[in-house]
Structure 1
Amino acid sequence: MAPKIVLHYLENSRAQRVAWLLEELGLDYEIVYYTRNEDHRSGPELKKIHPLGHSPVLEIDGLKLIESGVIINYLISKYDKDGKFSVTSEADKLAVDTALHHAEGSVQDDLLIMRITNKVRNANVSFMVKPVAKEVASKIDAGYPVPDLEVQLAYLEDLLAKNGSGYFVSDHLTGADFIYSYPLQLSRDYVNLLTEKKHPNLFKWLKSIEARPAYQTVGNKTKGLKGVF
């Protein structure tokens, strides 16, 4: 019997890569879509699903899973029957596990700080305070998240180049590719630090995953959905 899968999907969130993996695995699933409030946060409805109120939350036959890395690892280990996204060597398994932690624990941290400084920079304050807010935000960016994210991107660019297959681990899509998709898209589209000139391998990799039919199906499924609050 096919599992009953429900993905609680907050708009513009990390849930996108979980939906992409579900499509690649050919699993049937339902999307419950949530919109963000004026503060760009989830509202109370998502907290009814899980007390943290974060997305993604994946329900499989009543089991609730949180955290993208855990969800990606669980789905591949349980439902990748043909081994399309799995790895077998200990070195590759360690590389995938490292990616699952690195994407969330290092790359995403820089992006979160830059999201906060961007809110400070664009805060609705008086014209006398706004220049100060912009200067403080810019100094914070220049002092830590921007140079650190540049190091992270250089590391990932080199990782792709050394692997030489067009993927982060082995010669096919793995959990590493799914987990890195969201922060690398933000690095390209939101903070504009990932560029084709500086990161040709990362840029090409993003284009290749975005061209995949399963990836595009997610965009079509979520386009125009109305949130539950």
Structure 2
Amino acid sequence: MSSTLLIHHLNDSRSQRILWLVEELGVPYEVKRYERGADRLAPKELKEVNPLGGAPVITDGGRNLPESGAIVEYIISKYGEGRAQPPEAGMLDNLYFTHYSEASLMPMLVQQLIFKMIPAQAPFLIRPLLNAIFNKISAGFIEPRLKLHADMIEKHLEKCGDWIAGGSEPTAADYMMVFCLEAWGNSSPFLLGPKTKAYVNRAHARPAYKRALEKGGEYKYAGDL
């Protein structure tokens, strides 16, 4: 059995953040790629390592571990050797944003995406009606909530420096947040402030991030904001 960390990577997914993390830490690893189908869904083969069929998943020591947040914390704890740790003053920010990213922010972004997908996939004759309905719901409910999130993130980045926890290198919070902001910037960048866009672009400029793109292949969120 190989002792090398194996990352099960799905294109255009959260698993890109795991590739970035291990490249930053210099962890030896292998990649097993999975490609989305024409329907943009993950292939059924992913269910062999994750019963829910999603990515990322890592295999380490013969055991599989799904879920981005769990994987990020596990890799930093086991392989970080003191890296990717927040300074004492940034510990709470690191903890908060690590969990905020998927618990609060990403559900709103997914809801926004679903509201766009439903009219687009509806029969042609009712598409205009559904567009009107879902655009009104989005404008009245989702966008005001996302504006609150965008303002909170922007204000934090104005005071924390280059990275979420205020340190000199990315921590768990950054690996979790950057993907969310990439996806957000791909769908509605007009809500994101200049500090937020600069933050994502700063991550994109790192050599480790670029190496992760080479290892992962197709990734539609790689463009700067």
TM over 0.5: yes
The amino acid across from 2:213 in the alignment is: G
Structure 2 counterpart of 1:188 = 185
Who is 1:170 aligned against? Answer: 166
- Give the drift of 1:43: 2.4
Q: What is residue 56 of structure 1 aligned with on the other side?
A: 56
CA–CA distance in 1 between the matches of 2:153 and 2:34? 31
What letter corresponds to residue 215 of structure 2 in structure 1? K
- Matched with 1:113 is 111
The ranges of structure 1 where at least 4 consecutive aligned residues each deviate by more than 6 angstroms after the TM superposition are none
Q: CA deviation at 1:73?
A: 1.0
Structure richer in helix, relative to its length: 2
Query: Displacement of 1:181 after TM fit?
Result: 0.6
Partner in structure 2 of residue 86 of structure 1: 85
One-letter identity of the residue aligned with 1:168 = I
Alignment-derived partner of residue 65 in structure 1: 65
Q: Secondary structure at the match of 2:121?
A: coil
- Give the drift of 1:133: 1.4
Report the Cα distance in structure 2 between the residues aligned to 1:27 and 1:106, rounded to whole angstroms. Answer: 30
SS in 2 for 1:65: strand
Asked if the contact 1:58/1:71 (under 8 Å) is kept, the reply is yes
Alpha-carbon distance, 1:200 to partner? 1.4
- Alignment: residue pair count: 217
| Residue identity opposite 1:156 in structure 2 | I
Question: Pairwise mapping of residues 1-229 of structure 1 onto structure 2 (< 5 A)?
Answer: 3-81=3-81, 83-87=82-86, 89=88, 92-127=90-125, 129-163=126-160, 165-172=161-168, 173-195=170-192, 199-223=193-217
Listed as ranges, the gaps of 5+ residues in structure 1 are none
> What letter matches 1:92 in structure 2?
G
CA deviations over 1:77-98 (Å, ceiling 9, x no partner)? 11111x2311352x53332121
Provide, for residues 24-63 of structure 1, a one-character-per-residue CA deviation record: whole Å limited to 9, x for no partner: 0101211111122233221211111110111100111212
User: d(CA) in 1 for partners of 2:209 and 2:185?
Assistant: 17
- In structure 1, C-alpha distance between the alignment counterparts of 2:143 and 2:14, rounded to whole Å: 21
Q: Which amino acid aligns with 2:63?
A: L
What corresponds to 2:222 in structure 1?
Answer: none
Describe the shift of the 1:224–1:74 C-alpha distance in structure 2 as closer, same or farther (beyond 3 A): closer
How far does the alpha carbon of each residue in 1:104-160 deviate from its partner, in whole angstroms, 9 at most, with x for none? 011101110111111112114133x11111112212211322221111111011111
CA–CA separation in structure 1 for the residues paired with 2:41 and 2:141 = 24
Over the matched positions of the two proteins, sequence identity in percent amounts to: 30
TM-score where L is the length of structure 1: 0.88
**Aligned-pair distance for 1:187?**
1.4
Could you tell me how far apart the structure 2 residues matched to 1:11 and 1:154 are?
30
SS of the residue aligned with 1:122?
helix
In the alignment, the residues of structure 2 paired with residue 88 and residue 210 of structure 1 have an alpha-carbon distance, to the nearest angstrom, of 23
Q: Distance in 2 between matches of 1:130 and 1:58?
A: 40
What are the ranges of 5 or more consecutive residues in structure 2 without an aligned counterpart? Answer: 220-225
User: CA contact under 8 A between 1:194 and 1:203: conserved in structure 2?
Assistant: no
Deviation at 1:190, TM superposition (A): 2.0
